[in-house]
Chain A
Amino acid sequence: MAMLRRPAQAGTLESSDCLVSVAPSETRELDHRGAGATFFAGRTRGLVNDVLDSLGISGATVTIQDQGALEVTLRARLDTALERASREEDAACPRQ
């Protein structure tokens, strides 16, 4: 089972975007807030679990500040945050 190495985040608080923060954890926790949370709670929970399952991540704390993002946007931000969280060096700086 893969583990996140460090906390990381991706996205912005701009309208139609979302800020996704992930951090290593024993269990899975999801905190979804903002406009999107009222209307897409179920869908988002399903998406987060599917993505974590597919990456073999057993535990992670996922916080989403949702400014009305479409599902495709949320997915992209989540993928990016998880990728950053699994990098060896500081997630903000690319290699080379």
Chain B
Amino acid sequence: MKMLVNAAGRPVPSELPGIGPLLPYRGPWARLEAGDMVPRILPPLRGESPRRSKVAPSLRAAMERAGLADGMTLSFHHHLRNGDAVLPLVLAECERMGLKNLCLAPSSLTDAHECVADYVRRGVVSRIHTSGVRGKVGKAISRGEVPVPVMIRSHGGRARAIEEGSIAIDVAFLAAPACDERGNLTGALGPSACGSLGYAQTDARHARHVIAVTDNLMPSSLTHISIPQYLVNQIVVVDNLGDPGKIASGSARITRNPVDLKIARDAYRLLRASELLAPGVSFQVGAGGASLAVAAYVRDYMREKGIRGSWGCGGITGYMASMLEEGLFDALYDVQSFDAAVQDSLVRFRNHIEIDQSWYANPLNRGCVVHDLDVVVLAALDVDTSFNVNVLTGHDGVLRGASGGHCDTAAGAKLSVVVLPSFRGGVCSIKDAVRAVVTPGETVDAIVTERGICINPLRTDLREAARKAKLPVKEIADLKAEVEALTGKAEEAPLPDPKPENVVALIEYRDGTILDSLFRIS
């Protein structure tokens, strides 16, 4: 067991107990260019008697019928966001059943999943695969309380991992806001509606056993179907999938924060200078703050010039849905619907298309959406002078974010722009080296702050265009110095010793190689 330095200059273990040998990151397209072929793992065919009712008498009965045992892998989707009651419900039942050492593989962990920290401490859960993590669970992982190092993956990476069997799901518990008696289900309808079920579909296709959990068993046939019946083994009916108020937030509004608006405006000016805002443009923006506000400037420009985009994608907010309705796009590819307006659009408009996370971003399938993206505007917690981006850990090194589609879109897009304020909470956002690399600098074309735009030296064409457009371009090292003159240099906690035995989590790049390691903090 030793530490290697990968192509991003980060220390990663060559192997880890409980995980096995690991491949270090070799560059964003190394595996693609090498033509690596990876077998797909699918669950075996196994018939069920005709006209059998799938509705289980109870959650416990369903779990027993699924053959749930110690050490098995359970998966969930996080489309119910902070309102999810399903994952806590299932884990509580697992504990009552005396199950131990389970592997938890949700698409991500939200504020609704704080209980996972306790289940880890009590031995119910001993492995975790996730895109993101917050609160108590983040702290527990950072302190090394999970027996096996946690695997952090992007949306595209998770899809690939499930399809190749690196995440071998025994039982998928899929919250289903609307489900008929045969097991056809969707997230677009029902009192606990969440919109697209993009992070559930890959699970449904590859898990050994699929249990739909619903609070809305429909007496009639469901006609808007996200996951078809033949992928669903059982149905469990509960009173409530969760808190609807926290599932679908109110419509995402454009920020009024003047600093965020300044950042958004300069990012928009960079997009204009790149000449990519032309008929047929495709883009993705974030869910709030400066990265959503860019959409407002782009929208006004598209209206003014009569530009029609080809498609938008990603986590979709009401803002993007209204742009679709206005005719500014041919289509929207929706892998996650952020608010109620989006759910409505998904049902009403044929060109608002629900896609799964493999379709969205798996780098090893026959062509994912992000590989055709023109522009992506992304947020970040902090960045470094090599343009690496951290969306996972706070300044103190504790896990509190998510990989999400960040590295997928940054790699795939023709132009990837990261927006963030130059300092937050009195601390400069530009570091010499981020504590966790989620998106490697070579895939980041520009970083836009309220005090200047930094362009990756690899992009001489973009630099030229920005200079010609008289944009406030600065060298990233200069901007860092300028901001630190204002904030002072933060006293960073001492970096942990980068030894394999101190690794508490691995950041896997979308292609399965290891991009960075997270070490135990005291």
Direct contact of A and B (CB under 8 A): yes
One of B26-34, B366-374, B484-492 at the interface: B484-492
A61 CB to closest chain B CB, in angstroms? 23
Q: Given A38-B395, A39-B395 in contact, is the A68-B488 Cβ separation under 8 Å?
A: no
Please determine whether A16 and B491 come into contact, CB atoms closer than 8 angstroms. no
A19 at the interface (CB under 8 A from B): no
Please determine whether B488 and A43 come into contact, CB atoms closer than 8 angstroms. yes
**Which residue in B396, B425, B486, B492 is a CB contact (below 8 Å) of A36?**
B425
Q: How far is the CA of A69 from the CA of B424 in the complex (A)?
A: 10
Q: How far is the CA of A40 from the CA of B426 in the complex (A)?
A: 9
**Which residue in A41, A42, A69 is a CB contact (below 8 Å) of B426?**
A69
Q: How far is the CA of A67 from the CA of B424 in the complex (A)?
A: 10
A90 at the interface (CB under 8 A from B): no
A89 at the interface (CB under 8 A from B): no
Encode contact with B along A62-96: 1 for CB under 8 Å, 0 otherwise: 00001111110000000000000000000000000
Q: B493 to chain A: which residues have CB within 8 Å?
A: 38
**Which residue of chain B is the closest to A41 with respect to CB atoms?**
B491
Please determine whether B486 and A39 come into contact, CB atoms closer than 8 angstroms. no
Of A16, A39, A67, most B-chain CB atoms within 10 Å: A39
A30 at the interface (CB under 8 A from B): no
Please determine whether A36 and B395 come into contact, CB atoms closer than 8 angstroms. no
Please determine whether B424 and A39 come into contact, CB atoms closer than 8 angstroms. no
Of B426, B487, B490, B491, most A-chain CB atoms within 10 Å: B426
**Which residue of chain B is the closest to A16 with respect to CB atoms?**
B426
Q: How far is the CA of A68 from the CA of B424 in the complex (A)?
A: 7
Q: B486 to chain A: which residues have CB within 8 Å?
A: 70
Q: How far is the CA of A43 from the CA of B426 in the complex (A)?
A: 13
B427 at the interface (CB under 8 A from A): yes
Q: How far is the CA of A42 from the CA of B491 in the complex (A)?
A: 8
Q: A70 to chain B: which residues have CB within 8 Å?
A: 426, 486-488
Q: How far is the CA of A16 from the CA of B424 in the complex (A)?
A: 9
Please determine whether B425 and A35 come into contact, CB atoms closer than 8 angstroms. yes
Q: How far is the CA of A12 from the CA of B488 in the complex (A)?
A: 21
Q: A39 to chain B: which residues have CB within 8 Å?
A: 395, 426-427, 490-492
Please determine whether A71 and B488 come into contact, CB atoms closer than 8 angstroms. yes
Encode contact with A along B332-356: 1 for CB under 8 Å, 0 otherwise: 0000000000000000000000000
Of B396, B425, B490, B491, most A-chain CB atoms within 10 Å: B425
Q: B491 to chain A: which residues have CB within 8 Å?
A: 39-43
* CB-contacts of B472-522 with A (<8 A): 486-488, 490-493
Q: B427 to chain A: which residues have CB within 8 Å?
A: 35, 39, 68
Q: How far is the CA of A71 from the CA of B486 in the complex (A)?
A: 9
Q: B488 to chain A: which residues have CB within 8 Å?
A: 40, 43, 70-71
Q: How far is the CA of A71 from the CA of B485 in the complex (A)?
A: 11
Chain A residues packing against B (C-beta within 8 Å): 15-16, 35-36, 38-43, 66-71
Chain B residues packing against A (C-beta within 8 Å): 395-396, 424-427, 486-488, 490-493
Instruction: List, sorted by A's number, 12 A–B pairs whose CB atoms are closer than 8 Å.
Output: A15-B425, A16-B426, A35-B426, A35-B427, A36-B426, A38-B493, A42-B491, A66-B426, A67-B425, A68-B424, A70-B486, A70-B487
Give the 10 A-B residue pairs with the shortest CB-CB distance, closest first. A68-B425, A39-B490, A35-B425, A68-B426, A39-B427, A36-B426, A70-B426, A42-B491, A38-B396, A39-B491
What would 19 more interface pairs be, CB under 8 Å, given A40-B488, A41-B491?
A35-B425, A35-B426, A35-B427, A36-B426, A38-B396, A38-B493, A39-B426, A39-B490, A39-B491, A39-B492, A40-B490, A40-B491, A42-B491, A68-B425, A68-B426, A68-B427, A69-B426, A70-B488, A71-B488
